[in-house]
Structure 1
Amino acid sequence: MHKVISRVRVECVQGDIASQEDITAVVNAANSQLRPGGGVAGALHQKAGPGLEEECRPLAPIRPGEAVLTGGHNLPNRYVIHCLGPVYGVDRPEDELLARCYKRALSLAEEHHVDSIAFPAISSGAFGFPLDKAAQVALKTIADAATGLRQVKKIRFVLFSQEQKQVFEQALSSIEST
């Protein structure tokens, strides 16, 4: 499913974020130390190789809502944008910190002339953010930011499960096309 919002194509797919060959930058749902871990961080670090962890080391730690950019190393993408989402019920205000992740990632994408970016469902896994709420925050933030984007023309949500995809598609369908 996709929708065009202010000349930006926003799409939801089920798949592996480490295998998005037609995307310039992928977003890592990072931990504060920017180290390999489980989930998205583990998949991206594994495919990118040890150079990614080496490049990340001096950039850590980051705080919830922050993002940093590195090269893609052995990934098919030029860049990785590492975002630290909030831990639900711990980092407050959760919605604001999660929205800040998406805004900061888009800002870095614009600064580095990125035309396409792929996001996972930030904070909705081990960090416990309710999936439907995370999808609403993500899609509203993207829709609000779309009018100001000059470089980014495609935003893809790469979702691990069919359930995640359905929830994000439902949130996307409630956003008005412009």
Structure 2
Amino acid sequence: MALHVYKDDLCRHNVDVIVNAANEDLKHNGGVAKAILDAAGRKLQDDCDQIIRTYGRLSTGDSVITDAGKLPCKQIIHTVGPRWDTNSQSRCEWLLRRAITTSLQLASEKSHSSIAIPAVSSGIFGFPLNLCVENIVEAIRDYVETPGQQSTLQRIHLVDINDETVNAFCKVTKAKFGNQRRAVPSTAMAPQPVTRAAQNPPAPVNRGNDNTVVTKEGLKIKLLQKNIEDCSVCRFTSISC
């Protein structure tokens, strides 16, 4: 399984499924959600309204899936991240990790092989950026390293158009994965889990060092850094023992 960081427009990013930072009513009125709705077309809001009529409002941390409308991806996962509350930091962090985990599990449940995730809750929900990114990366690491799980996901992309957010993703990912012991690459790793669903280029230019690390759980991660056209990329390729 590979973890990549991209500077790119989420609405045109080339993956099977993207994650939308939604609210409990799936009303896409601002931030990432509004941009996705504008690009996907009106039917996306109609589909989300039908989910709410059928199942009721979502809880924080829940994820549901819809068709992608006019977007190049196959589907959209709408996840409800927490609104930041300085008096409930631990709960906010737990709910954000849950939102990411349910998104990953739902993508796998729908047999997708690639997913793009933005900095959920860091915008109008006010979650401090660095803390937000730390919890997103931690949730991804926990998902990848959970023993005995099976997943269809092969690529996880962290995507944002903002330089500050992209740099935060790269910095935190390197900090979480880049300080392990070195190893020699071996064979490609089979992915991981499942959960609930509410509904049914030009050649890259290598600009970094190529090295591989191993987590304490035995997960091998190959670190590269490169640029693809106007997209900044930090890639972390996981390889099983």
- TM-score, normalised to structure 1's length? 0.91
Distance 1:66 1:81 in 2: 10
Secondary structure of 2:176's match? coil
Distance 1:13 1:171 in 2: 14
The 5 Å alignment of 1:39-54 reads: 39-54=31-46
Distance 1:94 1:160 in 2: 24
User: Does the CA-based 8 Å contact 1:64-1:91 persist in structure 2?
Assistant: no
The aligned residue for residue 3 of structure 1 is none
Which is worse superposed, 152-161 or 85-94? Answer: 85-94
- TM-score, normalised to structure 2's length? 0.68
Higher relative contact order (CA 8 A, sep 6+): 1
Runs of 5+ unmatched residues, structure 2: 178-212, 214-218, 220-241
Distance 2:38 2:59 in 1: 23
Runs of 4+ in 1 over 4 A off after TM superposition: none
Q: Percent of aligned pairs with the same residue?
A: 30
Structure holding more strand per residue = 2
**2:167 aligned with 1:166:** yes
State how many pairs are aligned. Answer: 170
The 5 Å alignment of 1:1-178 reads: 8-20=1-13, 22-60=14-52, 61-89=57-85, 92=88, 93-147=91-145, 148-176=149-177, 177=213, 178=219
- Residues 87-107 of structure 1 show CA distances to partners (whole Å, capped at 9, x for unaligned) of 000795100000000010011
Structure holding more helix per residue = 1
- Residues 59-93 of structure 1 show CA distances to partners (whole Å, capped at 9, x for unaligned) of 23212111101111111111100011000007951
Secondary structure of 1:174's match? helix
- Once the two structures are TM-superposed, the CA of residue 149 in structure 1 deviates from its matched residue by 4.9
- Once the two structures are TM-superposed, the CA of residue 32 in structure 1 deviates from its matched residue by 1.5
Runs of 5+ unmatched residues, structure 1: 1-7
Instruction: Output the aligned Cα RMSD.
Output: 1.5
